[in-house]
Amino acid sequence: MTRPAPLAAGISAAAAAGRRAPVLHAEALQLRFGAVAALRDVSLSVAENEIHAIIGPNGAGKSSLLNCLSGFYRPQSGRVYFDGEDITQLRPHRRAAAGLGRTFQGIQTYPSMTARENILTGFHNRMRTGVFGALVWWGRVRAEEEAFTAKAEEIIEFLELEELRHAVVGDLSYGLRKRVDLGRAMALEPRILIMDEPMAGMNPEEKGDLARFILDIRDANRIPVVLVEHDMEVVMDISDTVTVLDFGEVIAVGTPREVRENEAVIAAYLGTE
Ligand SMILES: Nc1ncnc2c1ncn2[C@@H]1O[C@H](COP(=O)(O)OP(=O)(O)OP(=O)(O)O)[C@@H](O)[C@H]1O
Ligand SMILES: [Mg+2]
């Protein structure tokens, strides 16, 4: 066993590249579902303040990777470090409480609640209990409403949702519902924000708005953002670093320009080798 300890390897690689230790670091993740290898020896380092996109064809393992980062999937081997702590064994709600905020593929808002009420549910960081637990918790929110409401109002202003704070979310457009969902994730005051295809199903104007909010959140809160995104124009516009997955493997990591010119990436997207 001459292999160095995973964290040491990650940190020394970052140090060698002249960077600080990563905020989030996954090392050699292996994840299988029966015969399917969803992740094969996948490592990922997310630096302070960066926007890090994960791209790749359908089924490449992007959501699986996010799920390993946030604890919804447990890899068969490999480790995940957050702010230098090994969080591999932590359950999702503990990771959320530690500051790992995330949004999911599709819509996760409560349609019969208002925009502000949805954002208020984000202060509940024990995601393990699901809808029922959130509703029980909701009773407590009402008791403590004033303190939370002030914070929720800050988020509402930040996301330019003032006109819609009392609108029932089920009546809003898809783009606005995703914005409310982002507000819910922000309520955690996350140390890092992880988003799975936040722009899927949005029109170009909605995508532009969300891209601006993602950049604003990074700048205002000084946190990194990890996002899975299919829209290459958006990825090229807002990302500092891009990791490309194909069939469960990392085939390239670099700046948007480096990745766009990478032969393996071009081949993966053309479906040829
Ligand atoms: N819970 C699961 N049970 C069984 N197989 C799964 C599960 N989650 C993912 N997989 C499989 O793992 C592989 C990677 O899936 P994943 O959802 O991570 O891909 P993706 O890159 O997010 O794709 P998409 O772009 O379609 O969202 C696929 O073959 C998928 O069928
Ligand atoms: Mg996915």
| Domain spans in the chain, listed from the N-terminal domain onward | 23-99+191-272, 112-189
The residue with tokens 């069939």 is: 247
Cβ of 33 below 6 Å from ligand 1: yes
pTM assigned to the model: 0.86
Atom of ligand 1 nearest to the CA of 61: 18
The total of other beta-carbon atoms located within 10 Å of residue 16's CB is 8
- Please, which residues have CB within 8 angstroms of residue 117's CB and are 6 or more apart in sequence? 110
The total of other beta-carbon atoms located within 10 Å of residue 28's CB is 17
State yes or no: pLDDT of 40 exceeds 60: yes
The whole-angstrom separation of Cα 247 and Cα 13 is 25
pLDDT tens-digit series, residues 176-221: 999 999 999 999 889 999 999 999 889 999 999 999 999 999 999 9
What phi and psi, each to the nearest 5 degrees, are found at residue 52? -115, 110
State yes or no: pLDDT of 268 exceeds 50: yes
Sign for the pseudo-dihedral over CA of 60, 90, 118, 221: negative
The whole-angstrom separation of Cα 162 and Cα 156 is 6
174-186 vs 145-158: helix axis angle to the nearest 10? 130
The whole-angstrom separation of Cα 231 and Cα 203 is 11
Write down the pLDDT at residue 269. 80
Write down the pLDDT at residue 109. 86
What is the CATH number assigned to the segment(s) 23-99+191-272? 3.40.50.300
Find the 114 Cα to ligand 1 centroid distance in Å: 32
* Helix (H) and strand (E) counts in the chain: 11, 10
Ligand 1: residue whose CA is nearest its atom 23: 59
Find the 72 Cα to ligand 1 centroid distance in Å: 13
State yes or no: pLDDT of 273 exceeds 50: no
